[in-house]
């Protein structure tokens, strides 16, 4: 599941806005418009500290970030929220949650 999430992070366009240390395919940290997700699994909060970082909340955030934090950049610019053919399925969200929660020190 983690490997699937790793792959989806690239194919769904997350790499265009977020950096992750150790990945050669993500945007450079100084050019990223989204937060650096290198140690995401260690974070206590997500969505600009609006909700606790747990699997359920992360799945909700990935499903509909606008419902959690209206006006956020991700829901306005990410292809998965603006191009119907790129939308995330439930299984894809599960894989991305597993991958992002796996990013720990």
Res 76: pLDDT: 95
Mean of the per-residue pLDDT values of the chain: 96
Q: Is 42 helix (H, G, I), strand (E, B) or coil?
A: helix
Res 28: pLDDT: 87
Res 44: pLDDT: 97
Q: Considering all CA atoms of the chain, what is the largest pairwise distance in Å, rounded to the nearest integer?
A: 35
The whole-angstrom distance between residue 34's C-alpha and the CA centroid of its chain comes to 9
The yes-or-no verdict on residue 41 having pLDDT over 90 is: yes
Please state the rounded mean pLDDT for residues 25-50.
93
Please state the rounded mean pLDDT for residues 88-97.
98
Cα gap 71→33, rounded to integer Å: 15
Please state the rounded mean pLDDT for residues 81-100.
98
């Amino acid at each position: 599941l983690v490997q699937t999430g790793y792959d989806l992070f690239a194919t769904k366009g997350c790499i265009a806005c977020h950096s992750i240390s150790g990945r050669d395919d993500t945007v450079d940290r100084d050019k990223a418009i989204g937060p650096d997700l290198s140690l995401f699994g260690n974070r206590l909060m997500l969505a600009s500290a609006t909700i606790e970082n747990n699997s359920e909340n992360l799945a909700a955030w990935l499903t509909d970030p606008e419902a959690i934090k209206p006006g956020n950049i991700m829901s306005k610019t990410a292809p998965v929220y603006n191009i119907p053919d790129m939308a995330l399925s439930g299984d894809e969200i599960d894989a991305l949650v597993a991958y992002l929660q796996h990013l720990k020190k």
